[in-house]
Amino acid sequence: MGFPEIRRQPIDQLNEVKIDTQKTLKSSICCTGVGLHSGAKVSMVLKPAEVDAGITFRRTDIGGKGAVIRAHWKNVVDTRLCTVLGNAEGTTIGTVEHLMAALAGSRIDNAEIEINGPEIPVMDGSAEPFVFLIECAGVLDQGAPRRGIRILKPVKVEEGGASAALYPGQGSTIGFEIKFDGTLVGRQTISLGLVNGTFKKELSRARTFGFLHEVDQLRANGFALGGSLDNAVVVSGDKIMNEGGLRYDDEFVRHKSLDALGDLYMAGAPIIGHFEGQCSGHALTNKLLEALFADPENWCEDMVTDDFGDEAVASVSSDETVELAASA
């Protein structure tokens, strides 16, 4: 997470509030699958990590220091149809947003993800399989205070009729609106408070989606090579092509919210405030984080309370505020 400059406060000195603590996995757990866009078969291992380590990816098919990439907004190198992380050595790892959303929703602060290929496996197109893996591995309380990024001033970015914004607020909430004129999807909106358990119940099962008439063009451009009805909702005119239909009536906007949560976790810590997306995607969310950290008056660091999802946060004193943006 990158907070070495902060003076630690023993938890027993903060008994007046229930300070949430950092968490990692109890044990390693692995899975295999294919990349949504690359079509490459990959194996992935989720592993425990030390306090303040944050989320890192390690390409096991690449040797040396260049194999490691930190999950951080500054390391985002491509946002076309998915979020791709990269490092100075040119190593990349793609489609990280669903896994990042599962880690955020499961309150995993520290983890190392080993993978032997260029893209996270798409699994069923949602975050639910990753939540299942985390639950099977178990969650370990690490005892150190958990830190979040509290929004102090509204920050908004706009582009091409789309917008993404962060607003001050207690706890963590997300709102999203999508509009696909002339399609089955249409206009959908959602607003959720990310209380404990909400992510798993309301967002984790929402799958990525696409339109049948776009498939050939996507594949011609090197995208969706691993896509199928097993890992994406496909819309053809006024029909859902997947057997069994949708998991939620508004699965499309729920998945966009899932994507946004995963991309926001690239801030390096949970956001304390409200996110509002209007027809936005990976690129605009990354630009939003860039705008957020461009001005130190936009945010401060807070300790997250144990009932963070129930909208309660304990502020850290100003002398303990550090520049997260400089810690990448």
The amino acid present at 277, given as its one-letter code, is G
Dihedral sign, CA of 321, 300, 161, 215?
A: positive
Residue 252 tokens, joined: 């499309």
Pick from 195, 192, 218, 226: nearest CA to 81: 218
Contact 7, 145 (CB under 8 A): no
Q: Which residues of 269-308 are buried (b: 16+ CB within 10 A; e: fewer)?
A: bbbbbbbbbbbbbbbbbbbbbebbbeeeebbbbbbbbeeb
Active site residue 282: yes
Identify each DSSP E strand in 74-194 by its residue range. 76-78, 84-86, 92-93, 111-115, 139-145, 147-151, 155-159, 162-167, 172-180, 186-193
Residue with tokens 């959908």, as numbered in its chain: 188
Mention every residue, 6+ apart, whose C-beta is less than 8 A from residue 224. 36, 37, 81, 210, 215, 218, 232
Spatial distance between the Cα atoms of 56 and 262, rounded to a whole number of angstroms: 14
Alpha helices of the chain — where are they, by DSSP H? 97-105, 128-137, 198, 215-220, 251-264, 282-294
- Of the residues 37, 72, 274, 282, only one is catalytic, namely 282
The residues annotated with a catalytic role in the active site are 282
